[in-house]
Amino acid sequence: MRRLGPIALCFHALFVAFILAPLLMVVAVSFTDKGYLSLPTDGLSLRWFRAILDNPDFIDAFWVSVWLALVSATIAVIIAVPASLAIARKKFPGREVIAAFLLSPLMIPHLVLGVAFLQFYSKIGLGGSFYGLLAAHVILITPYALRLALASATGLPREAEDAALTLGASRFTVFRRITLPLILPGVAGGWLLSFITSFDELTMSVFVASPATQTLPVRMYHHITQTIDPLIASVSTVLIVLTFGVMLILDRFYGLDKIFVGKG
């Protein structure tokens, strides 16, 4: 391990400051005791956190987002697990085409997905519905679940499964008792990454969501384009804290660096 010089460490400190500055800024502003945007110079106040409770539209949007992310991440995993086992462990014609197709949303800008769903749903009468939003999110996040499931299913040893089959276990028992536990870290990591991706998504949802099905990022976006006030800072602070908690879990589970390699 080569030692780092003082210039490298200075650069590192500046870089970290650059990364953290806007987040700390949001947190600082949210504790202001003034009625307008300002840094809390004379005393901290929780008034803008209490103000969230008086704005049920943010709370409603939060629950829409949580519910949407829970259900869509679960559906994405249900689609991704069998597909990943087939793609990683079997040879069949069209295998690569199917894999590329199921991963293709990663290459499509969210804006393009958004306008495509906007038109499609208004044609088939699903415009602004929760189910439309849900289906759109499943399409968007399935590649994330699939990629992590594929990574765990590739190179999985078959001996234990063969032994169980020989000893008379049913196919389903083998899956439940042997295969699934072996790929579980990838599946769980994929579920959590899908959940966060769905929860944070703005660009596509802004086209698909109606006022009744606004997700939290969409609600916040519309608020910011109207006015930037301490309320939006306190909502953001709550999000930062929640995300930080999820991040620690994800890092324990899987390693943040592994999750993000090649994302995008």
Partner 1 sequence: MSAKALDKTPFLMTAPGVIFFIMLLGVPMLMTFLLSLHSYDFTTGIQPDWTISNYIEVLGDPYFHKIFGRTFGLALLVTVICVLIGVPEAYVLAHLPNPWRSVFLLVVLGPLLISVVVRTLGWALFFGGKGVLTMIASGLGFGEEPVSLMFTFTGMTIALVHVLVPFMVISVWASLQKIDPQSEDAALTLGASKLTVLYRITLPQVMPGILSGSIIVFALTASAFATPAIIGGRRMKVVATAAYDEYLSTLNWPLGAAIAVILLVVNIVIIVSYNKLVERRFAKVFE
Which residues between 33 and 52 bind partner 1 (CB under 8 A)?
Answer: 37, 39
Provide the residue type at 13 as one letter.
A
Of 53-61, 99-107, 150-158, 176-184: span binding partner 1 (CB under 8 A)? 99-107
Closest distance to partner 1 from the beta carbon of 97 (Å): 10
Closest distance to partner 1 from the beta carbon of 258 (Å): 9
Neighbours of 51 (CB within 10 A): 15
Dmax over CA atoms of the chain, in Å, equals 74
Q: Which of 45, 55, 110, 129 binds partner 1 (CB under 8 A)?
A: 110
Q: Which of 67, 119, 170, 173 binds partner 1 (CB under 8 A)?
A: 119
Which residues between 141 and 200 bind partner 1 (CB under 8 A)?
Answer: 142, 146, 196, 199-200
**Angle between helices 130-153 and 110-124 in degrees, nearest 10:** 130
Burial of 157 (0-12, 13-18, 19+ CB in 10 A): exposed
Q: Examine residue 247 and tell whether it contacts partner 1 (CB under 8 A).
A: yes
Q: Examine residue 226 and tell whether it contacts partner 1 (CB under 8 A).
A: no
Q: Which of 104, 154, 170, 173 binds partner 1 (CB under 8 A)?
A: 104
Q: Examine residue 16 and tell whether it contacts partner 1 (CB under 8 A).
A: yes
Closest distance to partner 1 from the beta carbon of 111 (Å): 5
Q: Examine residue 4 and tell whether it contacts partner 1 (CB under 8 A).
A: yes
Of 43-51, 52-60, 89-97, 182-190: span binding partner 1 (CB under 8 A)? 89-97
Q: Which of 74, 129, 210, 243 binds partner 1 (CB under 8 A)?
A: 243
Question: What would the DSSP string read from start to end of 134-197?
Answer: HHHHHHHHHHHHHHHHHHHHTT---HHHHHHHHTT--HHHHIIIIIHHHHHHHHHHHHHHHHHH
Q: Examine residue 231 and tell whether it contacts partner 1 (CB under 8 A).
A: no
Q: CA-CA distances (angstroms) from residue 263 to 84, 142, 236, 242?
A: 18, 13, 24, 22
Provide the residue type at 202 as one letter.
L
Given the complex with partner 1, which of 115 and 160 has the nearer CB atom?
115
Closest distance to partner 1 from the beta carbon of 101 (Å): 6
Q: Which of 166, 225, 226, 227 binds partner 1 (CB under 8 A)?
A: 225
Give alpha helix (H) positions in the chain.
6-30, 47-53, 56-89, 95-103, 110-124, 130-153, 159-166, 171-174, 180-200, 205-208, 216-226, 230-253, 256-260
